[in-house]
Structure 1
Amino acid sequence: MLQEFKAITFDCYGTLIDWERGILDQLRPWLDRSGRRDLSDAMVVETYARLEAACEAETPTALYPAIIEEVHVRLARHWELRPDPVAAHAFGQSVGEWPAFADTAGALRYLKQFFKLAILSNVDRASFARSNEKLGVTFDLVLTAEDIGSYKPARRNFEVALDRLDRTFGVGKGALLHAACSVFHDIVPASAMGITTAWINRRNDIGALGQTARADYEVADMAGLVALHKR
Protein backbone atom coordinates (compact mmCIF):
# COMPACT_ATOMS: atom_id res chain seq x y z
CA MET A 1 0.00 0.00 0.00
CA LEU A 2 1.43 3.38 0.96
CA GLN A 3 4.71 1.89 2.18
CA GLU A 4 6.00 1.85 -1.41
CA PHE A 5 6.19 5.67 -1.49
CA LYS A 6 9.01 7.85 -0.22
CA ALA A 7 7.31 11.26 -0.43
CA ILE A 8 3.83 12.77 -0.35
CA THR A 9 2.98 16.10 -1.96
CA PHE A 10 -0.07 17.80 -0.53
CA ASP A 11 -2.42 20.38 -1.83
CA CYS A 12 -3.04 22.69 1.12
CA TYR A 13 -6.32 24.62 0.87
CA GLY A 14 -9.29 22.27 0.92
CA THR A 15 -7.05 19.36 1.91
CA LEU A 16 -5.20 20.51 5.03
CA ILE A 17 -6.76 23.93 5.57
CA ASP A 18 -10.56 24.27 5.63
CA TRP A 19 -10.83 26.36 2.47
CA GLU A 20 -14.64 26.40 2.45
CA ARG A 21 -14.99 27.42 6.10
CA GLY A 22 -12.39 30.14 5.66
CA ILE A 23 -14.11 31.52 2.57
CA LEU A 24 -17.59 31.42 4.05
CA ASP A 25 -16.49 33.00 7.34
CA GLN A 26 -15.09 35.92 5.35
CA LEU A 27 -17.84 36.29 2.75
CA ARG A 28 -20.93 35.77 4.92
CA PRO A 29 -20.76 39.10 6.83
CA TRP A 30 -20.39 40.99 3.52
CA LEU A 31 -23.26 39.07 1.92
CA ASP A 32 -25.44 39.63 4.98
CA ARG A 33 -24.74 43.37 4.90
CA SER A 34 -25.57 43.33 1.18
CA GLY A 35 -28.94 41.68 1.76
CA ARG A 36 -28.04 38.29 0.23
CA ARG A 37 -28.81 35.95 3.10
CA ASP A 38 -30.71 33.83 0.56
CA LEU A 39 -27.52 32.39 -0.95
CA SER A 40 -26.78 28.89 0.32
CA ASP A 41 -23.30 27.89 1.41
CA ALA A 42 -23.12 25.50 -1.54
CA MET A 43 -24.03 28.26 -3.99
CA VAL A 44 -21.44 30.63 -2.53
CA VAL A 45 -18.65 28.04 -2.60
CA GLU A 46 -19.45 26.78 -6.09
CA THR A 47 -19.65 30.30 -7.56
CA TYR A 48 -16.46 31.29 -5.78
CA ALA A 49 -14.61 28.20 -7.04
CA ARG A 50 -15.61 28.85 -10.64
CA LEU A 51 -14.53 32.49 -10.55
CA GLU A 52 -11.29 31.71 -8.74
CA ALA A 53 -10.28 29.15 -11.37
CA ALA A 54 -11.00 31.70 -14.11
CA CYS A 55 -8.89 34.38 -12.41
CA GLU A 56 -5.99 31.97 -11.90
CA ALA A 57 -6.06 30.98 -15.57
CA GLU A 58 -6.24 34.61 -16.73
CA THR A 59 -3.45 35.95 -14.50
CA PRO A 60 -1.16 33.04 -13.62
CA THR A 61 1.61 35.24 -12.20
CA ALA A 62 -0.65 37.26 -9.88
CA LEU A 63 -0.21 36.53 -6.19
CA TYR A 64 -3.04 34.65 -4.52
CA PRO A 65 -4.25 37.59 -2.36
CA ALA A 66 -4.71 39.61 -5.57
CA ILE A 67 -6.51 36.67 -7.17
CA ILE A 68 -9.09 36.32 -4.44
CA GLU A 69 -9.50 40.08 -4.08
CA GLU A 70 -10.47 40.09 -7.76
CA VAL A 71 -12.82 37.16 -7.13
CA HIS A 72 -14.58 39.28 -4.49
CA VAL A 73 -15.05 42.03 -7.08
CA ARG A 74 -16.47 39.53 -9.57
CA LEU A 75 -18.79 38.02 -6.98
CA ALA A 76 -20.26 41.48 -6.39
CA ARG A 77 -20.75 41.91 -10.13
CA HIS A 78 -22.21 38.40 -10.50
CA TRP A 79 -24.79 38.95 -7.75
CA GLU A 80 -25.39 42.59 -8.75
CA LEU A 81 -24.10 43.95 -5.45
CA ARG A 82 -22.40 47.27 -4.79
CA PRO A 83 -18.61 46.84 -4.95
CA ASP A 84 -16.91 47.00 -1.55
CA PRO A 85 -13.17 47.65 -2.04
CA VAL A 86 -12.47 47.52 1.70
CA ALA A 87 -14.13 44.13 2.08
CA ALA A 88 -12.44 42.87 -1.08
CA HIS A 89 -9.00 43.85 0.17
CA ALA A 90 -9.65 42.31 3.60
CA PHE A 91 -10.74 39.10 1.91
CA GLY A 92 -7.53 39.00 -0.10
CA GLN A 93 -5.48 39.26 3.09
CA SER A 94 -7.48 36.65 5.02
CA VAL A 95 -5.91 33.40 3.79
CA GLY A 96 -3.68 32.97 6.82
CA GLU A 97 -6.75 33.16 9.07
CA TRP A 98 -8.49 30.17 7.48
CA PRO A 99 -8.63 27.26 9.95
CA ALA A 100 -6.97 23.89 9.63
CA PHE A 101 -9.12 20.78 9.65
CA ALA A 102 -9.16 19.13 13.08
CA ASP A 103 -7.37 16.00 11.85
CA THR A 104 -4.63 17.74 9.85
CA ALA A 105 -1.83 18.37 12.35
CA GLY A 106 -1.98 14.95 13.95
CA ALA A 107 -2.05 13.17 10.60
CA LEU A 108 0.90 15.16 9.27
CA ARG A 109 2.95 14.45 12.39
CA TYR A 110 2.29 10.73 11.93
CA LEU A 111 3.12 10.72 8.21
CA LYS A 112 6.29 12.77 8.80
CA GLN A 113 7.79 9.70 10.48
CA PHE A 114 7.66 7.74 7.22
CA PHE A 115 7.73 10.17 4.26
CA LYS A 116 9.24 13.35 2.95
CA LEU A 117 6.34 15.81 3.06
CA ALA A 118 5.93 18.57 0.48
CA ILE A 119 3.40 21.29 -0.27
CA LEU A 120 2.26 22.00 -3.84
CA SER A 121 -0.25 24.78 -3.40
CA ASN A 122 -2.06 27.51 -5.35
CA VAL A 123 -1.04 30.21 -2.92
CA ASP A 124 1.71 32.74 -2.21
CA ARG A 125 4.60 32.27 0.17
CA ALA A 126 3.47 34.82 2.76
CA SER A 127 -0.05 33.42 3.03
CA PHE A 128 1.21 29.85 3.33
CA ALA A 129 3.67 30.84 6.07
CA ARG A 130 0.73 31.98 8.18
CA SER A 131 -1.23 28.82 7.41
CA ASN A 132 1.77 26.61 8.14
CA GLU A 133 1.63 27.68 11.78
CA LYS A 134 -1.59 25.67 12.04
CA LEU A 135 -0.26 22.51 10.37
CA GLY A 136 2.04 21.23 13.07
CA VAL A 137 5.05 20.11 10.97
CA THR A 138 7.97 21.50 9.04
CA PHE A 139 7.64 20.48 5.41
CA ASP A 140 10.66 19.20 3.54
CA LEU A 141 9.69 21.20 0.45
CA VAL A 142 7.21 24.02 -0.15
CA LEU A 143 6.25 24.98 -3.70
CA THR A 144 3.66 27.68 -4.25
CA ALA A 145 2.11 29.27 -7.30
CA GLU A 146 4.30 32.30 -6.52
CA ASP A 147 7.43 30.14 -6.80
CA ILE A 148 6.36 28.44 -10.03
CA GLY A 149 4.60 31.30 -11.84
CA SER A 150 1.42 29.36 -12.59
CA TYR A 151 -1.58 27.84 -10.87
CA LYS A 152 -2.71 24.24 -10.86
CA PRO A 153 -4.10 22.49 -12.87
CA ALA A 154 -1.19 23.66 -15.07
CA ARG A 155 1.11 20.77 -15.88
CA ARG A 156 4.12 22.96 -15.10
CA ASN A 157 3.34 22.95 -11.37
CA PHE A 158 3.63 19.17 -11.21
CA GLU A 159 6.70 19.12 -13.45
CA VAL A 160 8.49 21.52 -11.10
CA ALA A 161 7.52 19.43 -8.08
CA LEU A 162 8.81 16.24 -9.72
CA ASP A 163 12.07 17.90 -10.69
CA ARG A 164 12.70 19.37 -7.23
CA LEU A 165 11.89 16.13 -5.42
CA ASP A 166 14.20 14.20 -7.70
CA ARG A 167 17.11 16.65 -7.50
CA THR A 168 16.78 17.34 -3.76
CA PHE A 169 15.79 13.98 -2.30
CA GLY A 170 16.26 11.46 -5.10
CA VAL A 171 12.52 10.76 -5.12
CA GLY A 172 11.31 9.79 -8.59
CA LYS A 173 7.77 9.82 -9.88
CA GLY A 174 7.20 6.18 -8.98
CA ALA A 175 7.96 6.88 -5.31
CA LEU A 176 5.63 9.91 -5.05
CA LEU A 177 2.04 10.10 -3.84
CA HIS A 178 0.06 13.29 -4.47
CA ALA A 179 -2.75 13.85 -1.96
CA ALA A 180 -5.45 16.44 -2.57
CA CYS A 181 -9.13 17.27 -2.27
CA SER A 182 -9.58 19.11 -5.56
CA VAL A 183 -10.40 16.94 -8.56
CA PHE A 184 -9.97 19.79 -11.05
CA HIS A 185 -6.76 21.30 -9.71
CA ASP A 186 -4.97 18.16 -8.58
CA ILE A 187 -6.32 14.68 -9.14
CA VAL A 188 -7.01 15.01 -12.87
CA PRO A 189 -3.70 16.65 -13.90
CA ALA A 190 -1.54 14.56 -11.58
CA SER A 191 -3.16 11.33 -12.75
CA ALA A 192 -2.72 12.37 -16.38
CA MET A 193 1.02 12.70 -15.72
CA GLY A 194 1.26 9.22 -14.23
CA ILE A 195 1.58 10.39 -10.62
CA THR A 196 -0.12 8.14 -8.08
CA THR A 197 -2.94 10.06 -6.40
CA ALA A 198 -4.87 9.95 -3.15
CA TRP A 199 -8.18 11.78 -3.23
CA ILE A 200 -8.86 13.32 0.19
CA ASN A 201 -12.58 13.52 -0.50
CA ARG A 202 -13.66 15.85 2.28
CA ARG A 203 -16.81 16.68 0.31
CA ASN A 204 -17.88 13.03 0.08
CA ASP A 205 -21.22 13.81 1.70
CA ILE A 206 -22.10 16.76 -0.57
CA GLY A 207 -20.27 16.14 -3.84
CA ALA A 208 -16.93 17.28 -5.23
CA LEU A 209 -18.11 20.53 -6.81
CA GLY A 210 -19.80 18.61 -9.61
CA GLN A 211 -16.82 16.36 -10.36
CA THR A 212 -15.79 12.81 -9.61
CA ALA A 213 -12.25 11.49 -9.46
CA ARG A 214 -10.51 8.36 -10.62
CA ALA A 215 -7.77 8.37 -8.04
CA ASP A 216 -5.57 5.46 -7.02
CA TYR A 217 -6.73 5.85 -3.42
CA GLU A 218 -9.75 7.57 -1.90
CA VAL A 219 -10.26 8.48 1.74
CA ALA A 220 -12.65 10.87 3.43
CA ASP A 221 -10.06 12.87 5.35
CA MET A 222 -6.46 12.96 6.55
CA ALA A 223 -7.23 10.54 9.35
CA GLY A 224 -8.29 8.13 6.62
CA LEU A 225 -4.90 8.49 4.94
CA VAL A 226 -3.19 7.61 8.23
CA ALA A 227 -5.47 4.60 8.64
CA LEU A 228 -4.63 3.50 5.08
CA HIS A 229 -0.92 3.60 5.91
CA LYS A 230 -1.42 1.68 9.15
CA ARG A 231 -3.25 -1.08 7.29
Structure 2
Amino acid sequence: MGLTDYQALLIDCDEVLVDRDSGVWAALQPLLDSRGGQPDKERVLAEYNEVVRALYPRFGELGFSGLLCFAHRQLAERWGLKASWEEGMSFARSAAGWSLFEDAPGAMLYLRKFYRLLVKGDRDAEDRGLLCERLGIVADDFISLASDPLKDPDWLLANDLELAGILLVTRPSASDAADTDVCLICRGRRQQPTQCATAYCINSMADLVAQHQLSLRR
Protein backbone atom coordinates (compact mmCIF):
# COMPACT_ATOMS: atom_id res chain seq x y z
CA MET A 1 0.00 0.00 0.00
CA GLY A 2 1.07 3.57 -0.59
CA LEU A 3 1.21 6.11 2.20
CA THR A 4 -1.98 7.75 1.00
CA ASP A 5 -3.95 4.48 1.21
CA TYR A 6 -4.03 4.08 5.00
CA GLN A 7 -6.96 5.15 7.17
CA ALA A 8 -5.04 5.65 10.41
CA LEU A 9 -1.58 5.87 11.90
CA LEU A 10 -0.84 4.11 15.21
CA ILE A 11 2.17 6.05 16.48
CA ASP A 12 4.47 5.13 19.36
CA CYS A 13 4.56 7.99 21.84
CA ASP A 14 8.04 7.54 23.29
CA GLU A 15 11.08 7.82 21.02
CA VAL A 16 8.87 8.68 18.03
CA LEU A 17 7.01 11.74 19.32
CA VAL A 18 8.45 12.22 22.83
CA ASP A 19 12.19 12.29 23.50
CA ARG A 20 12.01 9.78 26.33
CA ASP A 21 15.71 8.90 26.33
CA SER A 22 16.81 12.48 26.89
CA GLY A 23 14.20 12.84 29.65
CA VAL A 24 15.29 9.66 31.41
CA TRP A 25 18.97 10.54 31.08
CA ALA A 26 18.42 13.99 32.60
CA ALA A 27 16.28 12.62 35.44
CA LEU A 28 18.89 9.97 36.30
CA GLN A 29 21.66 12.53 36.76
CA PRO A 30 21.36 12.78 40.59
CA LEU A 31 21.72 9.00 40.84
CA LEU A 32 24.56 8.95 38.32
CA ASP A 33 26.34 11.72 40.22
CA SER A 34 26.27 9.50 43.32
CA ARG A 35 27.63 6.64 41.24
CA GLY A 36 30.58 8.73 40.03
CA GLY A 37 32.80 8.12 37.05
CA GLN A 38 31.77 8.83 33.48
CA PRO A 39 28.73 6.63 32.75
CA ASP A 40 28.09 5.70 29.15
CA LYS A 41 24.71 7.08 28.10
CA GLU A 42 23.81 4.19 25.78
CA ARG A 43 24.71 1.62 28.42
CA VAL A 44 22.72 3.41 31.13
CA LEU A 45 19.65 3.67 28.88
CA ALA A 46 20.00 0.00 27.89
CA GLU A 47 19.98 -0.95 31.59
CA TYR A 48 16.96 1.27 32.19
CA ASN A 49 15.07 -0.36 29.30
CA GLU A 50 15.98 -3.83 30.59
CA VAL A 51 14.66 -3.04 34.07
CA VAL A 52 11.44 -1.49 32.71
CA ARG A 53 10.77 -4.51 30.47
CA ALA A 54 11.16 -6.85 33.44
CA LEU A 55 8.75 -4.75 35.51
CA TYR A 56 6.14 -4.27 32.81
CA PRO A 57 4.12 -7.43 33.63
CA ARG A 58 3.31 -5.63 36.91
CA PHE A 59 2.03 -2.51 35.16
CA GLY A 60 -1.58 -3.16 36.18
CA GLU A 61 -0.46 -3.26 39.83
CA LEU A 62 2.10 -0.45 39.80
CA GLY A 63 0.76 2.06 37.30
CA PHE A 64 3.08 4.26 35.26
CA SER A 65 4.64 6.25 38.11
CA GLY A 66 5.00 3.14 40.26
CA LEU A 67 6.76 1.31 37.44
CA LEU A 68 9.25 4.16 36.95
CA CYS A 69 9.77 4.47 40.70
CA PHE A 70 10.61 0.77 40.99
CA ALA A 71 12.87 1.04 37.94
CA HIS A 72 14.79 3.86 39.63
CA ARG A 73 15.16 1.80 42.81
CA GLN A 74 16.35 -1.27 40.92
CA LEU A 75 18.91 0.74 38.98
CA ALA A 76 20.23 2.13 42.25
CA GLU A 77 20.54 -1.41 43.63
CA ARG A 78 22.36 -2.56 40.49
CA TRP A 79 24.85 0.25 40.96
CA GLY A 80 25.31 -0.38 44.68
CA LEU A 81 23.57 2.84 45.70
CA LYS A 82 20.78 3.75 48.08
CA ALA A 83 17.84 5.76 46.78
CA SER A 84 14.81 6.90 48.74
CA TRP A 85 11.24 6.45 47.58
CA GLU A 86 11.01 10.24 47.36
CA GLU A 87 13.89 10.25 44.88
CA GLY A 88 12.21 7.44 42.96
CA MET A 89 8.93 9.34 42.76
CA SER A 90 10.75 12.50 41.69
CA PHE A 91 12.28 10.47 38.86
CA ALA A 92 8.87 9.04 37.94
CA ARG A 93 7.18 12.44 37.88
CA SER A 94 9.85 13.75 35.51
CA ALA A 95 7.94 11.98 32.72
CA ALA A 96 5.40 14.82 32.72
CA GLY A 97 8.15 17.13 31.48
CA TRP A 98 9.72 14.94 28.80
CA SER A 99 9.92 17.10 25.70
CA LEU A 100 8.51 16.41 22.26
CA PHE A 101 10.91 16.01 19.37
CA GLU A 102 11.10 19.28 17.48
CA ASP A 103 9.37 17.92 14.39
CA ALA A 104 6.53 16.14 16.23
CA PRO A 105 3.94 18.97 16.67
CA GLY A 106 4.15 20.12 13.05
CA ALA A 107 4.06 16.56 11.72
CA MET A 108 1.00 15.72 13.81
CA LEU A 109 -0.74 18.90 12.65
CA TYR A 110 -0.12 17.96 9.02
CA LEU A 111 -0.86 14.23 9.27
CA ARG A 112 -4.18 14.63 11.06
CA LYS A 113 -5.53 16.24 7.90
CA PHE A 114 -5.20 12.87 6.16
CA TYR A 115 -5.39 10.17 8.85
CA ARG A 116 -6.92 9.35 12.16
CA LEU A 117 -3.98 9.64 14.54
CA LEU A 118 -3.74 7.12 17.37
CA VAL A 119 -0.89 7.39 19.86
CA LYS A 120 0.29 4.40 21.88
CA GLY A 121 2.00 5.02 25.21
CA ASP A 122 1.56 5.23 28.97
CA ARG A 123 1.23 8.21 31.27
CA ASP A 124 -0.45 8.91 34.59
CA ALA A 125 -4.04 10.05 34.26
CA GLU A 126 -3.20 13.58 35.40
CA ASP A 127 -0.59 13.95 32.62
CA ARG A 128 -2.53 12.51 29.70
CA GLY A 129 -4.73 15.53 29.03
CA LEU A 130 -1.82 17.92 28.61
CA LEU A 131 0.14 15.43 26.48
CA CYS A 132 -2.87 14.83 24.22
CA GLU A 133 -3.29 18.60 23.89
CA ARG A 134 0.37 18.97 22.91
CA LEU A 135 0.00 16.20 20.34
CA GLY A 136 -3.33 17.48 19.01
CA ILE A 137 -5.32 14.31 19.68
CA VAL A 138 -8.40 13.51 21.76
CA ALA A 139 -8.01 11.49 24.94
CA ASP A 140 -9.77 8.44 23.43
CA ASP A 141 -7.04 8.23 20.78
CA PHE A 142 -4.28 7.80 23.39
CA ILE A 143 -3.97 4.02 23.81
CA SER A 144 -2.22 2.25 26.68
CA LEU A 145 0.70 -0.05 25.94
CA ALA A 146 -1.08 -2.61 28.07
CA SER A 147 -3.69 -3.04 25.33
CA ASP A 148 -3.28 -4.21 21.75
CA PRO A 149 -6.03 -2.70 19.60
CA LEU A 150 -4.70 -4.35 16.45
CA LYS A 151 -5.66 -7.74 17.93
CA ASP A 152 -9.08 -6.59 19.12
CA PRO A 153 -11.72 -7.03 16.37
CA ASP A 154 -14.37 -5.38 18.55
CA TRP A 155 -12.23 -2.25 18.93
CA LEU A 156 -11.52 -2.14 15.20
CA LEU A 157 -15.23 -2.50 14.42
CA ALA A 158 -16.26 0.13 16.97
CA ASN A 159 -13.73 2.57 15.48
CA ASP A 160 -14.67 1.78 11.88
CA LEU A 161 -11.12 0.67 11.10
CA GLU A 162 -9.62 -2.28 9.28
CA LEU A 163 -6.30 -3.83 10.23
CA ALA A 164 -4.93 -3.42 6.72
CA GLY A 165 -5.78 0.27 6.84
CA ILE A 166 -3.58 1.02 9.87
CA LEU A 167 0.12 1.90 9.56
CA LEU A 168 2.16 1.33 12.72
CA VAL A 169 4.69 4.14 13.16
CA THR A 170 7.28 2.91 15.62
CA ARG A 171 10.94 2.78 16.60
CA PRO A 172 13.22 -0.09 15.46
CA SER A 173 13.38 -1.74 18.89
CA ALA A 174 9.58 -2.11 19.06
CA SER A 175 8.75 -3.37 15.58
CA ASP A 176 8.98 -7.13 16.02
CA ALA A 177 5.97 -9.29 15.10
CA ALA A 178 3.72 -6.41 14.09
CA ASP A 179 0.22 -7.29 12.93
CA THR A 180 0.05 -4.57 10.29
CA ASP A 181 2.31 -2.58 7.98
CA VAL A 182 5.15 -0.80 9.77
CA CYS A 183 6.93 2.51 9.29
CA LEU A 184 10.17 2.67 11.26
CA ILE A 185 11.25 6.07 12.52
CA CYS A 186 15.01 5.63 12.80
CA ARG A 187 15.91 8.79 14.73
CA GLY A 188 19.61 9.39 15.25
CA ARG A 189 20.68 7.49 12.13
CA ARG A 190 22.35 9.44 9.38
CA GLN A 191 21.03 7.05 6.77
CA GLN A 192 18.11 4.67 6.53
CA PRO A 193 18.90 0.94 6.57
CA THR A 194 20.05 -0.21 3.12
CA GLN A 195 17.51 -3.03 3.25
CA CYS A 196 14.33 -2.10 5.06
CA ALA A 197 12.54 -5.15 6.43
CA THR A 198 9.30 -3.18 6.89
CA ALA A 199 7.02 -1.20 4.60
CA TYR A 200 8.86 2.08 5.28
CA CYS A 201 12.10 3.15 6.96
CA ILE A 202 12.22 6.89 7.59
CA ASN A 203 14.55 9.06 9.68
CA SER A 204 12.02 11.33 11.39
CA MET A 205 8.41 12.45 11.55
CA ALA A 206 9.36 15.37 9.33
CA ASP A 207 10.59 12.88 6.73
CA LEU A 208 7.28 11.01 7.00
CA VAL A 209 5.48 14.25 6.11
CA ALA A 210 7.83 14.76 3.16
CA GLN A 211 7.24 11.20 1.95
CA HIS A 212 3.48 11.68 2.21
CA GLN A 213 3.68 14.89 0.18
CA LEU A 214 5.64 13.03 -2.52
CA SER A 215 2.98 10.30 -2.54
CA LEU A 216 0.26 12.91 -3.11
CA ARG A 217 2.08 14.16 -6.21
CA ARG A 218 2.32 10.73 -7.81
Tell me the TM-score normalised to structure 2 length.
0.86
**Unmatched tracts of structure 2, length 5 or more:** none
Q: Aligned partners of 1:132, 1:180: CA distance in 2, in Å?
A: 18
Contact 2:149 2:155 in 1 (8 A): no
| Alpha-carbon distance, 1:229 to partner | 0.6
> Conserved in 2, the CA contact under 8 Å of 1:11 and 1:120?
yes
* Structure 1 residues 217 and 27: CA distance shift in structure 2, 3 A: same
Render the CA deviation track for 1:17-53: whole Å, top value 9, x for unaligned: 0001110111113311x14242111111111011111
The 5-angstrom pairing of residues 121-140 of structure 1 reads 121-135=121-135, 137-139=136-138
- Contact in 2 for aligned 1:124/1:144 (Cα 8 Å): no
- Counterpart check, 1:198 vs 2:186: no
Q: 1:177 to 1:125 in 2, by over 3 A?
A: farther
1:5 corresponds in structure 2 to 6
**What SS is found at the alignment partner of 2:120?**
strand
Task: Quote the offset at 1:205 in angstroms.
Answer: 5.3
Taking only aligned residues, the RMSD between alpha carbons, in angstroms, comes to: 2.5
Q: Matched residues, percent identical?
A: 23
| Between 109-118 and 34-43, the greater mean CA deviation after superposition | 34-43
The CA distance in 1 between the partners of 2:149 and 2:51, in whole Å, is 20
- Which residue of the partner structure matches residue 228 of structure 1? 211
> What's the TM-score, normalizing by structure 1?
0.82
Call closer, same or farther: CA 1:124–1:202 in 2, change over 3 Å: same
Structure 1: distance between partners of 2:5 and 2:18: 26
SS in 2 for 1:10: strand
Counterparts of 1:122-161 in structure 2, within 5 Å, are: 122-135=122-135, 137-139=136-138, 141-145=141-145, 150=146, 156=148, 158-160=150-152
| 2:24 counterpart residue number | 23
Q: CA deviation at 1:84?
A: 2.7
Rate the CA distance shift 1:122–1:163 in 2: closer, same or farther, 3 A: farther
Residue 91 of structure 2 is matched in structure 1 by 91
